[in-house]
Amino acid sequence: MLQAIGIEVRARARTLLRDVSLEVAPGEFVAIIGPNGAGKSTLLNALAGDRPLSSGEILLDGRPFGQWSKRELARRRAVLPQHSAVAFDFTGLQIAMLGLLAFRGSLSEREMQALAERALAETEALAFADRPYTVLSGGERQRVQLARVLAQCDADPAATPFLLLDEPITGLDLSHQHAALASARRRVDRGLGVLAVLHDLNMAARYADRVGIVEDGRVTNLGPTRETLAPDRLSHVFATPIVRIETGSGTAFLSPG
């Protein structure tokens, strides 16, 4: 279990998160939605152990994050941030292999390369394996970075790490948006826990088991996807009319403006 218990995050005089409690269980996909600046990315960074807390605690498998080494954390959770800066001229394959650094010693170089190539193939980014990362488009970079965290999750077949994704479909075309979230969903079906910050209500409705709504630094709603994504609630949260349309193949959300 990955748990936030009454956490608060502050930046100088501003409170970014206040009294947030949330848990992600193995085998479930939790989507986090909310307006811009509500605190979604801050929450994900706190759950990843990358954001200092003013109060409360984050537990991973019942242990506070402070009791885990960086190597242990890298084996128990993979993080795709909203922005991934790369200072060196790495190739796509080298970026994908960065997710496997914590497994050096238990995996050979050949095994790590095979895992990275398999993840690149899954995200349809294998063609970028030998290309400099810096020449790739935004969407191509996103697919390489997604391959990095997928390889990290797949490094130990006996483990069920947590996968934390901050706006993973930004910059992707519609086909690759579905492919990215389907990759996450397959790992949920294998027993991993996934938390993803999403802006697309339709994608949240399609792939998530539960949805949490963040407003002004608080989780105001958290529950089963269909119940949480009620049109009246969404219209209030996003300050624009939102309607839900039932189709033969599922549910669609529209905003007439």
For residue 121, is pLDDT > 90? Answer: yes
Distance between CA atoms of 247 and 124, rounded to whole angstroms? 29
CA-to-CA distance for 256 and 128, rounded, in angstroms?
39
The owner of tokens 């997928």 is 150
Q: Residues 11-39: pLDDT tens digits?
A: 988 999 999 999 999 999 999 999 999 99
Spatial neighbors of 205 by CB under 8 A, at least 6 apart, are 225, 226, 229, 250, 251, 253
Q: Which among 70, 19, 16 is positioned nearest to 38, based on CA atoms?
A: 16
The answer to the question of residue 153 being in a domain is no
How many residues are listed for the chain in this entry? 257
- Listing DSSP states for 151-190 in one string gives HHHHS-TT---EEEEESTTTT--HHHHHHHHHHHHHHHHT
Span 94-106, mean pLDDT? 95
**Residue 165 domain boundaries:** 2-91+160-254
pLDDT digits (tens, 9 = 90+) for 190-209: 999 999 999 999 999 999 99
Q: Encode pLDDT of 46-57 as tens digits.
A: 999 999 999 999
Where residue 8 falls (left for φ over 0; alpha for ψ -120 to 50; beta otherwise) is beta
In a domain? residue 107: no
Is the pLDDT score of 86 beyond 90? Answer: no
- Give the pLDDT confidence score for residue 247 in this predicted structure: 82
Three-state DSSP class for residue 250: strand
Q: What is the pLDDT of residue 169?
A: 96
- Asked if residue 242 belongs to a domain, the reply is yes
- DSSP assignment of 30-50, as one string? EEEE-STTSSHHHHHHHHHT-
Question: Which 3 state secondary structure label does DSSP give 242?
Answer: coil
The CATH number of the domain holding residue 222 is: 3.40.50.300
Residue 111 domain flag: no
Residue 66 located in a structural domain: yes
Token pair listed for 249: 């193949």
Query: Is the pLDDT at 87 greater than 80, yes or no?
Result: no
| Residue 248: per-residue pLDDT | 79
Residue 238's pLDDT band (boundaries 50, 70, 90)?
A: very high
In a domain, 100, yes or no: no
Does residue 140 sit within a domain? no
Residue 69 lies in a domain: yes
The candidate with the shortest Cα–Cα distance to 161, out of 132, 136, 137, 195, is 195
- pTM (2 d.p.): 0.95
b (16+ CB within 10 A) / e for 148-175? bbbbbbbbeeeebbbbbbbbbbbebeee
Q: Is the pLDDT of residue 85 over 90?
A: no
pLDDT score, position 89: 86
Return d(Cα 48, Cα 56) in angstroms, integer: 14
Give the pairing of strands 77-80 and 162-166.
parallel
Domain count for the chain, please give it: 1
pLDDT at site 245: 94
